Amino acid sequence: MNNDNKRNTFTGSLGFVLAAAGSAVGLGNIWRFPFLAAKDGGGLFLVIYLVLALTFGYTLLTSEIAIGRKTKQSPLTAYGKIHKGCKPLGILACMVPIIIMPYYCVIGGWVLKYFVGFATGNGKKMAKDGYFSSFITKQYEPIIYMVVFLAITAVVVFLGVNKGIESFSKIIMPALIIMIIGIAIFSLTIKDPNSSRTGVDGLKKLVIPNFDGMTAKQFFKVTVDAMGQLFFSLSVAMGIMVAYGSYMPDDAKMAKSINQIEIFDTLVAFLAAAMIIPSVFTFMGEEGMSAGPGLIFITLPKVFEAMGGIGAIVGALFFAMVIFAAITSSVSIMEAVVSSFMDQFKVKRRTAGVIEAIIAIAAAVVVCLGYNKLFFNIKLPNGSDAQILDIMDYISNNIFMPIVAISECILIGYIIKPETIIEEVEKNNTKMGRKVLYKIMIKYVAPVLLIILFLQSLGLLDFILN
């Protein structure tokens, strides 16, 4: 393949790993992982997640990074370059970040609002019942915070691969880790004065497997939950890792970098759970741990209020940390689209960035209005209630992403063959330690798991199991 030698690259493996890990460490890790861990038997979920991360997740992550580096192309054009018949897969892979970007910036705006609130001493106000609903249903304020969040993201992307994404990741990711570790340690020291619950009790709920009433069907559902979480945790099937892989230097040891991303992501996901679950369990018991998406914006402000004076500081630090995590992910989402436009239409970064920013702002305004002027409620195939944001999330995460991942397995397993990826990973005389595992997973196991996940997304899995 004729690779574009003028393409920007990360200056080294560290820059690539931090940028890729920054993409993985987003809102999904902060609220979704702790929620699923609490819901799905604590330590049982952790064990299943770890096994899947080292097998299923590793397979998809390796495939996308290798495709990116081998073709030196973004998702829109990479699949067509590696095989001419796969251009439609590139279009679908590029559509995922295009759809995700607007509503992710809306949620990022919500986080920004809460950070500003806690930083200015208004945490108690935000802990009141109904505050979150009253905020997101306002007509203008959510739009303003969304635009600010998107503008921060765009500035990083406009600065480019080295001065923007890599430099930003090298500063933000260490700060993010320090903050998560600090809050997690603090969470273990707290105690509810009105009960005997402590942060350590909450940690036990997280790490000790709970098999009470566990059936084969429930175990299967926990496995499917863990598998679905891997899409969020590793940023696979979104085109992101293809784009970042295309910036990976040819002399970098890919196998080592992938191992580091796995370790980094799993560690942060666990620390996020160790940070949130002990605090929520201490002050709100097991009921608070089932808060789901409202965990960050409804439950945790109440937890910070229950902490007393120190809660205002912890809350401000927490939402600052969430902002860091959200921006590193939104940068990667936007970059996947911007790099695709650059490769497909041969335009400059600034031009591609402006086009994507306009698309994202226009769609994000519609998402914001979906909670007031354009409000409606429908039932999705998986049974959940949905507004505009939920519909976009469902289409991108529950339909497009599984289709992209299944198509990747077919492309690599049966068209270009696994050896194509293995050859790329083993450049520079490095060995692919999980070579046999990779071949088995990409051809046989991963497609089956993805089809199961897709059936669940369509609401058909429960029907089949019942």
CATH code for the domain in which residue 423 is found: 1.10.4160
Whether 15 maps to a domain, the answer reads: no
Report pLDDT for 68.
Answer: 97
pLDDT in tens, 449-466: 999 999 988 877 776 666
- Half-sphere exposure of residue 66, counting CA atoms within 13 Å on the CB side? 25
In which domain, by residue range, is 127 found? 26-465
Whether 13 maps to a domain, the answer reads: no
Q: Helices in 159-215 by DSSP H: which ranges? A: 167-189, 199-207
Report pLDDT for 27.
Answer: 83
Whether 6 maps to a domain, the answer reads: no
Whether 21 maps to a domain, the answer reads: no
- What whole-number distance in Å separates Cα of residue 263 and Cα of residue 259? 6
pLDDT in tens, 169-180: 999 999 999 999
- What whole-number distance in Å separates Cα of residue 312 and Cα of residue 216? 44
**Three-class secondary structure of residue 83 per DSSP:** coil
Q: Tell me the average pLDDT across 191-220.
A: 88
| Total residues found in the chain within this entry | 466
What is the residue-wise DSSP string for 386-445? E-HHHHHHIIIIIIIHHHHHHHHHHIIIIIS-HHHHHHHHTGGG---TTHHHHHHIIIII
More confident residue, 25 or 237: 237
Whether 72 maps to a domain, the answer reads: yes
pLDDT in tens, 372-382: 999 999 999 87
State how many domains the chain has. 1
pLDDT band, residue 70 (cuts 50/70/90) = very high
Whether 321 maps to a domain, the answer reads: yes
Whether 215 maps to a domain, the answer reads: yes
What is the percent of the chain with per-residue pLDDT over 90, rounded to a whole number?
Answer: 74
pLDDT band, residue 221 (cuts 50/70/90) = confident
pLDDT in tens, 316-337: 999 999 999 999 999 999 999 9
Report pLDDT for 1.
Answer: 41
pLDDT in tens, 116-134: 999 999 999 999 999 999 9
What DSSP designation does 31 have? Answer: I
Whether 448 maps to a domain, the answer reads: yes
The radius of gyration of the chain's CA atoms, rounded to the nearest angstrom, is 21
pLDDT in tens, 235-274: 899 999 999 999 999 989 999 999 999 998 888 889 989 9
